[in-house]
Structure 1
Amino acid sequence: MNALQQHLFDTYRAAQHAEPAPPVPGTHDVAVLRAARDHRRFEAVLAGRPTIGRLRLALRRRRRAAAC
């Protein structure tokens, strides 16, 4: 059973019990991704690491080391 079939089944069941319909699959995906990003940034602050531009900084350090 895929997500759409499960959603239709849950919607039918909610209608039978006079309950509100569940949210459509994928409704909260962006919010979950933002929360994960914010958590990673929070952990970086607690560890004393930069929160933004870490990949760019690492590549710059590697390029400078290769040039020497």
Structure 2
Amino acid sequence: MRGWVDLGDDITPTTPFTDLDLDSLVLVELAVILSRTYRVPVDEAELAEAGTVDDVVALLAAKQTTAA
């Protein structure tokens, strides 16, 4: 994503989604993209609970391990 948009130096993989003002519609769209890309079910509530990019990566890894 850094190649597409200048995110600045203050945004890291541990920056909480709440600090980025991601609303529920953005999380729904992200859930659809992640579900299609990684072929595991992901919903908005799980993303909101995860809260950061690092935690979403861990969530996806756990779901892929469980699905295998």
> Greater RCO between the two (CA within 8 Å, min separation 6)?
2
**Global fold match (TM > 0.5):** no
TM-score, normalization by structure 2: 0.28
Larger radius of gyration: 1
TM (norm. structure 1) is 0.28
Tell me which protein shows more helix as a share of its residues: 1
